[in-house]
Structure 1
């Protein structure tokens, strides 16, 4: 191989490493906030109050998979809650056929306020904590969360109406 060909091959290898190495990871398909869900590929929102069937279908398309389970808890505060749960840790709550809340344990999904499930307590934005029967809880701008045993990290986050198993 000539010197010129060798240099060209080396340059292509170096440049290909730069191109593939500089790729940013794709953003998660949705982010969660106090009013519902914001798809990252669209300016349209999925706010609380939307119809259950449409919300489940849309979120399933965005996540690339449908819920693993849809269950109803009859005894839950203001009435029965139907929960659609995805394998990675997202649960959407519905009451009387309307989207009313979410619970998330998926560290890949962004949550408003700079929170993520799994985030260490030291990395969290400033919040005040309260000890409850579930453990150490916090809330900020209608986003609430629960820390892990030992208070080291965020175990789960939620907004809207939720129903925790007793």
Structure 2
């Protein structure tokens, strides 16, 4: 009889444990991927603490390319293109993660030839340009779409961004001409160059040793 009572108690205990385990939430260690979309609180203009770092694991490096940006996996070397048209919240999330920092400023330039352009800048000289594409279904803050990028000189020691060929701010005209076929003309901006694929920039002078001071692709707000 005692053995029978002991068996009943043991059975009840095991059932209780199984019920508890089935109701306990299962937790797993997950990484926030570069495609994670978070809500972006938009304002007409804001200055952000650029010293804030992103704790998400950084697996990709950001690259410059014509009419897009690229991500290259640090270990495998595989690339992902980020084409024009991507929503602003996703672009900021991707760029924050790749650069491991937040923007230094967000604002709207209403004087551009293409109309008002929203510009999001980071402390390494990168500015991503967005154009508003109004939609009946989308919220106003998500109407802004990736439409261009600009890379300028940065006084900080932040991570530099280059093209796949290694061309970036500070590269020489000789290095640019060895990597791309370019056309150079002197304009009000300086010694301006372009490629047939849509990559633009400015040399500080006409010499082969002249450095690149600006790079851009897509919509820009240059006044000639």
Normalised TM-score (structure 1): 0.75
What residue is the counterpart of 2:19 in the other structure? none
**Deviation of residue 105 (structure 1)?**
2.6
Counterparts of 1:16-165 in structure 2, within 5 Å, are 29-41=61-73, 43-96=79-132, 97-105=144-152, 108-111=160-163, 115-125=167-177, 126-140=181-195, 141-148=197-204, 152-164=210-222
Determine the C-alpha separation between the residues in 2 that align with 1:89 and 1:62. 14
Gaps in structure 1 of 5+ consecutive residues: 1-26
Q: Structure 1 pair 165/71, CA: closer, same or farther in 2 (3 Å)? A: farther
Count of matched residue pairs: 140
**Larger gyration radius, structure 1 or structure 2:** 2
Determine the C-alpha separation between the residues in 1 that align with 2:81 and 2:152. 21
Higher strand share: 1
Q: Structure 1 pair 44/122, CA: closer, same or farther in 2 (3 Å)? A: closer
Gaps in structure 2 of 5+ consecutive residues: 1-58, 133-143, 154-158
RMSD of the TM alignment (CA)? 2.3
Which string of whole-angstrom CA distances, capped at 9 and with x for unpartnered residues, describes residues 115-146 of structure 1? Answer: 22101122222422111111110001200001
**Deviation of residue 104 (structure 1)?**
0.9
